Every structure is written in C-alpha cells, then in structure tokens.
Homo-oligomer: A and B are copies of this chain.
Amino acid sequence: ADVKKIAVIAGDGIGPEVVGEALKVMKKTEELFGYQFEFEHGLFGGIAIDEKGTPLPQETLDICKAADAVLLGAVGGPKWDNNSKELRPETGLLGIRKALGLFSNIRPANVFDCLMDASTLKPEVLEGTDLIVVRELTGGIYFGEKFRREGANGQEAVDTCVYNVQEVERIVRQAFEIAQTRRKKLASVDKANVLETSRLWREVVNRIAPEYPDVELEHVLVDNCAMQLLRRPASFDVIVTENMFGDILSDEAAMLTGSIGMLSSASMGEGSFGLYEPVHGSAPDIAGQGISNPIATILSVALMYRLTFGYHEAAQLIEDAVKSVLDAGHRTGDIAVDKSKAIGTTAMGDLIVAAM
C-alpha cells in the first residue's frame, strides 16, 4: 500500500488541541478512502526550547525531511518572547523554512458567507473575496546578512535584502500556474520605484509573463496594494510578492476576511513536499481550555491533500463538511455571535468528522 508519512508538529498553546482534531479528520479519510498515513510526532517551538534547549531540534528536522508532508499547529507564546534570538520559537520557524527549502507560502484569504459579519469590512465590499497571497519565503531581507557596526553617528544596524533571478522566477512561475487554475489574474506586488530588488523582480515577471498569455497581469506598488486590498478585495485573484511585503499583506488580507480562525496555509518546497498550518497563532490565552477553533487546521489538511497528495475528492469532502457544519449554525467561541451557544474544540471536530 502507498503509505504517506506525515510529520506532526503540534507546537505550543492551542497547537496540540487543533492538531488533534485535524488528525481525527485524517483518520476518517483513511477509513473512507483507504488512505494510509504514518504519523511521526516532533517537538518544535517553545516546547522544544523547554525540553531540548532549541526551538528546532535536529530530530524534528529529520522527521520532517523523512516525511511527505508536515502538519504544524502553532508556535510561540509570552513565555519565550524575551529569550535571546537563538532561543525564540520564531527562530525555529525561520530555520525550518530554510532547512526544508520552503520557498513559497500560499495563503488563501476567502470569505465564509456565514461569517461575513465577523469582518470589520462592509459586507458589500467583502462579498466574493477569494484571493491567494503567494509569498516568497526563503529570501529577501529575512535571510540577508544582518549585523551591527560603528558608523559616523554611533552604532548602526544593517539588514540586507537580496534576491536573485532564479529565486524570483520560481515563485513567480508558481503564482502564474496557480492563477491559471483560478480566475487567471495575477497582481505582482513590489516597490520598483524605490528598491533594486523590486526592479529585478519586475523584470523577471515581465520576462516570463508572455509564457502565461491566459493570465492577466498587473504590477501593484506595495503601498497601493495595502490600500486596494481595503478598497476592492474581491477584485484580487492571486497576489505574488517578496518575503517582507508578503508577511504584511497576507496578514492584512487574512484579517479583512474576518475569518482568521478559518484560514489555512501551505509552505511549499520543490516538488510536492509541503508544510501545512493554520494562519492563526498559538493563542496562549485560551490554550488548554478546549475552546479553540480547529477549522483552520482541518482546512490545512484539505490543502495538504490537494497540493501534496492530489487527494482532491477527500479535500472536497472535508471542505464541504466544514461548510455544512457552519451552515447548520455550529460555532466555536471565536466566531460565535451568541457566545453562550459556542461549542468546544472537540465538539467541532466531531461534528465535522460526522458530516463527512
């Protein structure tokens, strides 16, 4: 049988709870579709700092490298926020991206009709919003040289933003290809009126664009994009941009949907390998209470099925099950209008499994 290896990294805060529900969903698909998964659990983030003295232990990395896909909960929390750089959960996050070559972060931001009210945007503006931010994830100012030095006016700090042609080309091609499977519109976001890396970016985009004649391309400056996301979110289809801009814009896009507890993400390397995680954080304030929303993590499984395994039927089943449970009015606390009727993490997971 075709056994798929899944590295499971529950992480911190609500991570273990939401991952637990996602695993129930995966097991249900084993039953229904005859899939076979082998799960290997690894420590990562704050819990790894506590137990192993490093946010990204070598054995966790080995488990990930041996796997076909990684399912991640969430990492971080106030407990580790004041640690030195090497002992911070986010250092592990940057490390795992680089070590696994996850150069592409795919962040769908779509609106769930029944959650439209949760957005701070007017429903008529939000209606139909369904976009994907494709963020370059292993280059740019995140990974360039960083240092301090003495300058003419005292100490100074330096960060370096570097992109080469090949790094831009692979992420932009991926974005074009994703656009081809959707509404065929691509917005490439840069700051070409100021940055050299952005000018290189735009040159590469313009050079390869003719190979995707069916995709309508626009170049948008990053400041303008931050505005247009607010003004006309539904008009975007796929947005592709570099690491730092993508960090900001993907969070803005996520928040404007009002559905941040529902959004999944994929970080992809070469080939079909991917790391899947909810967009929301570890929410330490509600961890351990059994009230967190597992839907984003469950939908991350659907994304894994589509992008890594090509299990489209099962992915659709999961997405439909989520929708039907929501349509039936079930809500966890974060998305409930009437908080007194909110259900817990496990109850939500059970309902989704039952709906499958």
Interface locus among A1-9, A43-51, A177-185, A188-196: A188-196
What separation, in Å, do the CA atoms of A111 and B255 have in the docked complex?
21
Do A165 and B153 touch (CB < 8 A)? Answer: yes
Answer whether residue A270 sits at the interface, using C-beta atoms and an 8 A cutoff.
no
Do B231 and A254 touch (CB < 8 A)? Answer: no
A35-65 residues with Cβ-Cβ distance < 8 A to B are: none
Do A200 and B148 touch (CB < 8 A)? Answer: yes
How far in angstroms is the closest Cβ of chain B from A116?
A: 11
**Which of B121, B250, B255 contacts A122, CB < 8 Å?**
B121
Q: Which residues of B contact A224 (CB under 8 A)?
A: 251
With A162-B158, A252-B252: A196-B226 Cβ-Cβ less than 8 Å: no
Answer whether residue A163 sits at the interface, using C-beta atoms and an 8 A cutoff.
yes
What separation, in Å, do the CA atoms of A230 and B141 have in the docked complex?
25
Q: Which residues of B contact A162 (CB under 8 A)?
A: 151, 156-158
Answer whether residue A159 sits at the interface, using C-beta atoms and an 8 A cutoff.
yes
Task: Tell me the number of copies of this protein.
Answer: 2
A164-184, CB under 8 A of B: which get 1 and which 0?
Answer: 111100000000000000000
A63-107, CB under 8 A of B: which get 1 and which 0?
Answer: 000000000000000000000000010100010000000000000
With A156-B165, A158-B162, A248-B223: A230-B197 Cβ-Cβ less than 8 Å: no
Q: Which residues of B contact A256 (CB under 8 A)?
A: 230
A232-246, CB under 8 A of B: which get 1 and which 0?
Answer: 000000000000110
Answer whether residue A247 sits at the interface, using C-beta atoms and an 8 A cutoff.
yes
Q: Which residues of B contact A156 (CB under 8 A)?
A: 162-165, 200
Q: Which residues of B contact A347 (CB under 8 A)?
A: none
**Which of B151, B164, B248, B255 contacts A155, CB < 8 Å?**
B164
Do A196 and B159 touch (CB < 8 A)? Answer: yes
Answer whether residue A222 sits at the interface, using C-beta atoms and an 8 A cutoff.
yes
- Nearest CB to that of A201 among chain B residues? B157
Answer whether residue A146 sits at the interface, using C-beta atoms and an 8 A cutoff.
yes
What separation, in Å, do the CA atoms of A248 and B246 have in the docked complex?
12
With A122-B122, A226-B255: A153-B157 Cβ-Cβ less than 8 Å: no
Answer whether residue A154 sits at the interface, using C-beta atoms and an 8 A cutoff.
yes
With A151-B164, A160-B158: A120-B231 Cβ-Cβ less than 8 Å: yes
A293-307 residues with Cβ-Cβ distance < 8 A to B are: none
What separation, in Å, do the CA atoms of A166 and B155 have in the docked complex?
9
Would you mind naming 15 contact pairs between A and B with Cβ atoms under 8 Å apart? A94-B194, A121-B121, A121-B122, A141-B161, A146-B195, A146-B196, A151-B162, A154-B165, A156-B162, A158-B160, A158-B196, A191-B244, A226-B251, A227-B260, A230-B256
